[in-house]
A and B are shown apart, each in its own frame.
Chain A
């Protein structure tokens, strides 16, 4: 006779398996999306996958190292502008220019971090915003890149990806797919490594982490550079897809930081699952409320405030309080002592 185990631990384990199954199916469906989805759907998926990468990076920074940046638009914008410059003036192939743009932005992040890290807490937040504004104003002054009115990517460069429109969209879709999935895998692998222990320790208590020998400053510095690079990679892709870049669009605080913060906060800060849930909620709400105009943004702001008042760890945090589940297990669990 078999006894059905209905203990909470077992339920949680079953839910975790179910979640992993759902994620696997979703990834497969996304991988095959060009076969079943319409052109409009593919565009939506590309945008959602880009935002997933941006959200994972903001979450890695804020959720784990406690560095609240309101200036991530700096890296989206720089990634975009470096990509345009490399592709247009250095004549580099698109697929090489995108990662190089990310590396260039990460190099700019080195001195930027050195300046921004002089500020702490909320001051760091506004300081990163000032730095993003500096980049925006410099881009607006740069005549070669179109100054304040921006510049378009020449048709030949877009055509170099693939001759046909369908071919181009296929390449772009798989770029978005790669960036979105890679951002999740990157954070997951990072959190499972030795670094992950340091990061979760800092998330849970910075003084305690410091006391256990984690050099918090160095960890924060490296994570800042890493997130800047990946954010810039995403930015380079976003503006390849848009085919046009302007300083206001590239360095928009609302688009690249406010929305991303809302996504992470609503989904759940300090977890890998949170940003995924946040992206789903954000884009679902946007589809519903597309015609509401500014009321939609008012609603997003109100939801973010409500989350902070009700449960700081968002939707995923609320789920975890109820069931001890994890779609992406990163915790190290002590082996149970044998009962004798």
Chain B
């Protein structure tokens, strides 16, 4: 029964990992661009929510949309002002610029919030759970997280394939040189894509703040999880991201069940094994 429980908790944890990964996957899909500061943006969203709720005593129902809007605006501006300048065939500049951003964000968070580990108290959400059987229960927060991940991915899928904005994003992804000829602006479309990814980053940060302890240096680990999920799922595949998240989540909880200290290591090893067996992921798009 402990194994069934481990798998069940892993699937739900996978929802959070899919949220980590969806933003990264989206930016890569549209711009062929990897944001090395992705995890640090997630942690920034978590700190922002924490500051609004506990520091400024703003009701969570208001603080959550504020965080989402703030991250989306920051994402748009960051892309427009900084990242668009380094996009191109040479992959070194974007990697180094976002790596530099990552160091800046971690140390800025350290200056403002100190190195202490924090967590947002989510009230009844922290403790509520649904009993499935005698010794099997699902926590309300993990369940909410998983449902949010499904909703976010369904939402992105809808935006991408059913709206004019999605058509522009896909067109830019296919051939960024043609889009300007048709009257589109790459700089703007890229910034919109980053803003959209930042909305997902904000949602991921909000759940992370409630789910676990975090500190200013917690970003890189989240970047690695997000990256593993994207590769396992297959580049550019949104639903693949959900499956990838579940695989990583289950690998970690089952690993923790075997040996408590091995949770993260088990996830990494399953990722590397899948990389050897299926280098293009489970559901490669192109």
Contacts and interface: CB of A to CB of B under 8 A. Distances in A.
A126 B227 contact: yes
B168 to A, nearest CB: 24
B104 A122 contact: no
Q: Is the interface of A mostly helix, strand, loop or mixed?
A: helix
A110 B103 CA distance: 30
A13 to B, nearest CB: 31
Contacts of A298: 103-104, 107-108
A264 to B, nearest CB: 10
B202 to A, nearest CB: 22
- How many interface residues does chain B have, given as a range? 35 or more
A127 B92 contact: no
B82 interface: yes
B101 A130 contact: no
A125 B34 contact: yes
A71 to B, nearest CB: 11
B100 A68 contact: no
B263 to A, nearest CB: 10
B100 A301 contact: yes
A131 interface: yes
Interface in B151-204: none
B99 interface: yes
Contact of B265 (A115, A127, A138, A258): A138
B92 A300 contact: no
A312 interface: yes
A302 B264 contact: no
Interface string B94-106: 1111011111100
B286 to A, nearest CB: 14
Given A115-B272, A137-B265, A301 B103 contact: yes
Contact of A68 (B95, B228, B272): B95
Contacts of B96: 261, 265, 304-305, 308
A294 B100 contact: no
A122 B264 contact: no
B93 interface: yes
A126 B224 contact: yes
A131 B227 CA distance: 13
Contacts of A262: 100
Contact of B95 (A115, A125, A295): A125
8 closest residue pairs by CB, A with B: A122-B34, A294-B107, A301-B103, A301-B100, A301-B104, A118-B279, A137-B265, A304-B100
5 contacts: A126-B223, A262-B100, A301-B100, A302-B104, A309-B85
